[in-house]
Chain A
Amino acid sequence: DGGITQSPKYLFRKEGQNVTLSCEQNLNHDAMYWYRQDPGQGLRLIYYSQIVNDFQKGDIAEGYSVSREKKESFPLTVTSAQKNPTAFYLCASIGKVSNTEAFFGQGTRLTVV
C-alpha cells in the first residue's frame, strides 16, 4: 500500500539536543511539507520542497532544518535553537502540486524535557 510514514510516533528529548524526525513516502510524490501543530494555532508551515535537492522556508523555519536528498524522504531536524520545540509535527506530500490534495502522515509528538 502506498502512503506516507512518520517515525517515531512519540519522541522525548532533553533540552539542548538536536532531534531528527523521519518522513518517508512511497507515493512517488514530488512535493513534501512539514507542519507544526499547536492547540488553537492550526498547522503552521515549517519547510517545503517541490523537487529533490531544493527546499524553501515556510512561515516558522527558525530553529529547524531539512534535507531532500531523495524523492521519498524529507527529514526534519529540530535544533537546539528552536525555543519551544514541544509540539505535534505533521509531514505531508502532494503529487502534482496546485490542485491535488495532500496526503498526511500520522504525526510525531515531540516532547522536550
Chain B
Amino acid sequence: AQSVTQLGSHVSVSEGALVLLRCNYSSSVPPYLFWYVQYPNQGLQLLLKYTSAATLVKGINGFEAEFKKSETSFHLTKPSAHMSDAAEYFCAVTQNSGGSNYKLTFGKGTLLTVNP
C-alpha cells in the first residue's frame, strides 16, 4: 500500500524567507513523486516530479525538491517566498495497483501563507 504524509497542514512564512513543505511517503517499490499547487477554486497544477532520473528536481516558479530514499522524503523548498506563492500544495505518489492499473494518491495538503 502507498501513502503520502504531509507534515503541517498550514505553513506561514514572511516574504523573502525560505519555504519548506514536508512530504514523506511509504512505498514498497520505488515511487514516482509529484508536487502540485492549487489556487482557490481551481484545479491542480504540476510544480515538479521525480521519476528516478535525478534526486534533486527543479520545478516551476523557483521551487525544487530532493528525493531522499533513506528518509522516504520528498520535501519541497524555495529559497525566497513571494506573495504569489500563497496557495495549497499537495504531494502525490503514483504506484502500480495491480496489472496495468496505477493509483495516484495525494497527501492532505499544506496551505502556505506568505506575510508581507
Chain A residues within CB distance 8 Å of chain B: 6, 31, 33, 35, 40-45, 48, 50-51, 56, 58, 88, 90, 92, 94, 97-99, 101-102, 104-107, 109
Which residues does chain A contribute within 8 Å of B102, judged by CB atoms?
A: 31, 50, 94, 97-98
Q: Interface size bucket, B side? A: 20 to 34
Q: Is the interface of A mostly helix, strand, loop or mixed?
A: strand
Task: Count chain B CB atoms within 10 A of each CB in A50, A88, A99, A109 and give the residue with the most.
Answer: A99
From B13-21, B38-46, B62-70, B73-81, give the one contacting chain A: B38-46
Which residues does chain A contribute within 8 Å of B34, judged by CB atoms?
A: 101-102
**Is residue B25 contacting chain A, with contact meaning CB distance below 8 A?**
no
CA A79 to CA B34, docked complex, whole Å: 32
**Is residue B94 contacting chain A, with contact meaning CB distance below 8 A?**
yes
The reply to whether A107 and B43 form a contact with Cβ atoms under 8 Å apart is yes
Between-chain CB contacts (< 8 Å), 18 pairs: A31-B102, A40-B9, A42-B107, A42-B109, A58-B103, A88-B41, A90-B44, A92-B104, A94-B102, A97-B94, A97-B100, A98-B102, A102-B34, A102-B92, A104-B36, A104-B43, A106-B43, A109-B41
Which residues does chain A contribute within 8 Å of B46, judged by CB atoms?
A: 101-102
Task: Count chain A CB atoms within 10 A of each CB in B41, B44, B108 and give the residue with the most.
Answer: B44
Which residues does chain A contribute within 8 Å of B61, judged by CB atoms?
A: none
The reply to whether B106 and A42 form a contact with Cβ atoms under 8 Å apart is yes
In the complex formed, the residue of A with least CB distance to B48 is A101
The reply to whether B43 and A56 form a contact with Cβ atoms under 8 Å apart is no
CA A45 to CA B42, docked complex, whole Å: 17
**Is residue B51 contacting chain A, with contact meaning CB distance below 8 A?**
yes
- 12 additional A-B pairs beyond A50-B101, A98-B96, A107-B41, beta carbons within 8 Å, are A40-B9, A40-B108, A42-B6, A42-B108, A45-B105, A48-B103, A90-B44, A92-B44, A98-B102, A99-B51, A104-B45, A107-B43
The reply to whether B94 and A98 form a contact with Cβ atoms under 8 Å apart is yes
